[in-house]
């Protein structure tokens, strides 16, 4: 790692180009030298003068502007990375195909340093098979994808394709320069195998974490679920292109990028959120540790202590998974079973009772709060063991199984 860190910030034509100014500012603040290179299209969205003033360096635009015409070669030689933000669909296509018809694309082709790419485009452009092919090829060639994120877009539509915020990009670029990989990229990662299942266009609804059932203003009934498994399932689903809605109880985790998150507290709130979202879902995965009971009468004030015994009356909560599975046109349903004993017998019975095609069973004492786990899957064909692994790897293996069954079901 060089002492003074330096990046080339490549800006291409897209409305997200305005965020590049803030990105440059944040990186400069971290002591990183920033040399800006823009495509001609980018100059229609943000002026070179803005970037020049921020970075105190002339902005590179025209490949013919320097007398020796060697900017494209020496431009990347002293850089620790080239960061393209925003990267338009067109520019990604150029990169994937090794085209070099302007200064920035030539710089990228001639580089001898890592390439980081932050896509920014309309959701349909992102979902287009050509873009996905290009992105996959870029990742296979060793580029690091930062995002994209999902949310409202400048065109008025909503979905996956918007560029990450400048602060998120700055954090990821810094992490990269410090030798770590960026966390939580939604993009296809270069370390993923080409035999990955493909869930593009498929909507997955996931519940995660514990629920909290209030007793009074300050006390409640909850459980030790950390939400790690549910969040790992969401992350794994995003990696293979699914649109993910994550209905989450209170957890101390950062949601995976690109997931649409609905935060809830109690089982009833989780139930209401699932009822609202389920019509759009193709697959439902209930990972949440939902409290089976809630207090019949919650007190809005803190209950005062007395010498008498206190009895709390508990009433059953709705069974969210069973409700979804019993819908007239249910999504493909996957349940989890946390058991403390007789794993096989309880899990097989639970699968039948809740009427779900797939149930992932684990020992509660093994799973709760840990970073790794193992699962026993139950489906119509019988039992399948997913050996002990980190929760994200386990979630990826689970999703392979889910996708196989889901696609088989669709063909019928």
**Which x/- pattern, by CB under 6 A, does the window 245-274 give for ligand CTP?**
----------------------x-------
Question: Between residues 12 and 317, which has the closer beta carbon with respect to ligand CTP?
Answer: 317
End-to-end CA distance of the chain: 55
At residue 67, what are phi and psi to the nearest 5 degrees?
Answer: -60, -40
Of 133-141, 303-311, 312-320, 371-379, the window that binds ligand CTP (rule: CB under 6 A) is 312-320
Question: Rounded distance, CA 261 to CA 239, Å?
Answer: 16
Q: Find the shortest distance in angstroms from Cβ 187 to ligand CTP.
A: 29
Question: Counting contacts by CB under 6 A, is residue 326 touching ligand CTP?
Answer: no
Q: Find the shortest distance in angstroms from Cβ 23 to ligand CTP.
A: 40
Q: Which of 158, 198, 292, 383 binds ligand CTP (CB under 6 A)?
A: 292
Q: Which of 10, 148, 256, 286 binds ligand CTP (CB under 6 A)?
A: 286
Question: Rounded distance, CA 51 to CA 248, Å?
Answer: 40
- Tokens 């030539």 label which residue? 106
Helix axes 17-29, 166-177, angle to 10 degrees: 50
Q: What angle do CA 215, 217, 220 make, to 5 degrees?
A: 35
Q: Which of 24, 321, 348, 376 binds ligand CTP (CB under 6 A)?
A: 321
Q: Which of 319, 372, 390, 393 binds ligand CTP (CB under 6 A)?
A: 319
Q: Find the shortest distance in angstroms from Cβ 267 to ligand CTP.
A: 6
Before 148, cis peptide (omega within 30)?
yes
Q: Find the shortest distance in angstroms from Cβ 330 to ligand CTP.
A: 13
Residue 23 and residue 84 in contact, taking contact as beta carbons nearer than 8 Å? no
Question: Counting contacts by CB under 6 A, is residue 337 touching ligand CTP?
Answer: yes
Read off the DSSP letter of residue 254.
P
Question: Between residues 115 and 321, which has the closer beta carbon with respect to ligand CTP?
Answer: 321
Q: Find the shortest distance in angstroms from Cβ 211 to ligand CTP.
A: 8
Binding residues with ligand CTP: total (CB under 6 A):
14
Q: Find the shortest distance in angstroms from Cβ 296 to ligand CTP.
A: 16
Question: Rounded distance, CA 292 to CA 225, Å?
Answer: 14
Q: Find the shortest distance in angstroms from Cβ 333 to ligand CTP.
A: 9
Question: Between residues 83 and 285, which has the closer beta carbon with respect to ligand CTP?
Answer: 285
**Which x/- pattern, by CB under 6 A, does the window 39-78 give for ligand CTP?**
----------------------------------------
108 is catalytic: no
- Tokens 């019928």 label which residue? 412
Of 80-88, 282-290, 387-395, 404-412, the window that binds ligand CTP (rule: CB under 6 A) is 282-290
Query: Residue 214 has which token pair?
Result: 């209030």
Question: Rounded distance, CA 144 to CA 135, Å?
Answer: 10
Torsion sign across C-alpha atoms 57, 63, 67, 71: positive
Edge to edge, the sheet with strand 115-119 lists 33-38, 6-11, 81-87, 115-119, 144-145
Question: Between residues 89 and 324, which has the closer beta carbon with respect to ligand CTP?
Answer: 324
Restricting to residues 347-386, which ones interact with ligand CTP according to CB under 6 A? Answer: none
Question: Between residues 95 and 270, which has the closer beta carbon with respect to ligand CTP?
Answer: 270
Q: Which of 10, 184, 335, 357 binds ligand CTP (CB under 6 A)?
A: 335
Residue 298 and residue 216 in contact, taking contact as beta carbons nearer than 8 Å? yes
Question: Counting contacts by CB under 6 A, is residue 226 touching ligand CTP?
Answer: no
Q: Residue 48 belongs to what H/E stretch?
A: helix 48-55
- Picking from 205, 288, 293, the residue whose alpha carbon sits closest to that of residue 248 is 288
Question: Rounded distance, CA 336 to CA 53, Å?
Answer: 55
Give the bridge partners for 160, in sequence order.
150
Question: Rounded distance, CA 29 to CA 73, Å?
Answer: 27
Question: Between residues 6 and 346, which has the closer beta carbon with respect to ligand CTP?
Answer: 346
Q: Find the shortest distance in angstroms from Cβ 357 to ligand CTP.
A: 13
Q: Which residues contact 5 (CB under 8 A, 6 or more apart)?
A: 31, 32, 33, 80, 177
Catalytic residue among 108, 113, 155, 333: 155
**Which x/- pattern, by CB under 6 A, does the window 188-207 give for ligand CTP?**
-------------------x
Q: Which residues are catalytically annotated?
A: 155
Q: Which residues would be at the binding site for ligand CTP (CB under 6 A)?
A: 207, 267, 286, 288, 290, 292, 317, 319-321, 335-338
């Amino acid at each position: 790692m060089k002492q003074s860190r330096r990046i080339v910030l490549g800006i291409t034509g897209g409305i997200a180009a305005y965020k590049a100014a803030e990105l440059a500012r944040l990186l400069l603040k971290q002591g990183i030298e920033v040399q800006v290179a823009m495509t001609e299209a980018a100059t229609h969205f943000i002026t070179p003068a803005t970037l020049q003033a921020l970075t105190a360096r002339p902005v590179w635009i025209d490949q013919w502007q320097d007398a020796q015409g060697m900017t494209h070669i020496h431009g990347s030689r002293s850089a620790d990375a080239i960061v393209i933000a925003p990267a338009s669909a067109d520019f990604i296509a150029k990169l994937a195909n090794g085209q070099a018809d302007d200064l920035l694309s030539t710089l990228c082709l001639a580089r001898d340093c890592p390439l980081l790419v932050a896509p920014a485009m309309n959701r349909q452009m992102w979902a287009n098979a050509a873009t996905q092919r290009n992105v996959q090829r870029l990742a296979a060639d060793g580029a690091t994808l930062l995002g994209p994120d999902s949310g409202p877009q400048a065109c008025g539509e909503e979905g996956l394709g918007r560029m990450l915020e400048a602060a998120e990009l700055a954090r990821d670029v810094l992490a990269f320069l410090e030798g770590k990989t960026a966390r939580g990229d939604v993009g296809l990662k270069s370390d993923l195998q080409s035999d990955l299942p493909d869930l593009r266009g498929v909507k997955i609804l996931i519940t995660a974490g514990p629920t909290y059932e209030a007793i009074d203003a300050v006390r409640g009934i909850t459980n030790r679920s950390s939400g790690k498994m549910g969040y790992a399932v969401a992350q794994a689903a995003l990696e293979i292109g699914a649109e993910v809605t994550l209905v989450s109880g209170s957890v101390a985790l950062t949601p995976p990028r690109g997931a649409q998150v609905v935060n809830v507290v109690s089982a009833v709130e989780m139930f209401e959120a699932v009822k609202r979202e389920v019509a759009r879902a193709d697959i439902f995965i209930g990972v949440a540790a939902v409290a089976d009971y809630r207090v019949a009468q919650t007190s809005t004030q803190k209950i005062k202590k007395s010498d008498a015994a206190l009895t709390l009356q508990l009433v059953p909560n709705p069974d969210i998974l069973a409700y979804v599975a019993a819908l007239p046109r249910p999504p493909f349903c996957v349940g989890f079973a946390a058991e403390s004993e007789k794993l096989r017998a309880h899990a097989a019975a639970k699968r039948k009772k809740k009427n779900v095609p797939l149930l992932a069973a684990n020992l509660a004492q093994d799973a709760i709060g840990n970073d790794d786990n193992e699962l026993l899957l139950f489906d119509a064909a019988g039992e399948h063991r997913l050996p002990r692994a980190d929760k994200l790897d386990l979630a990826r293996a689970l999703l392979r199984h889910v996708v196989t069954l889901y696609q088989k079901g669709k063909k019928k």
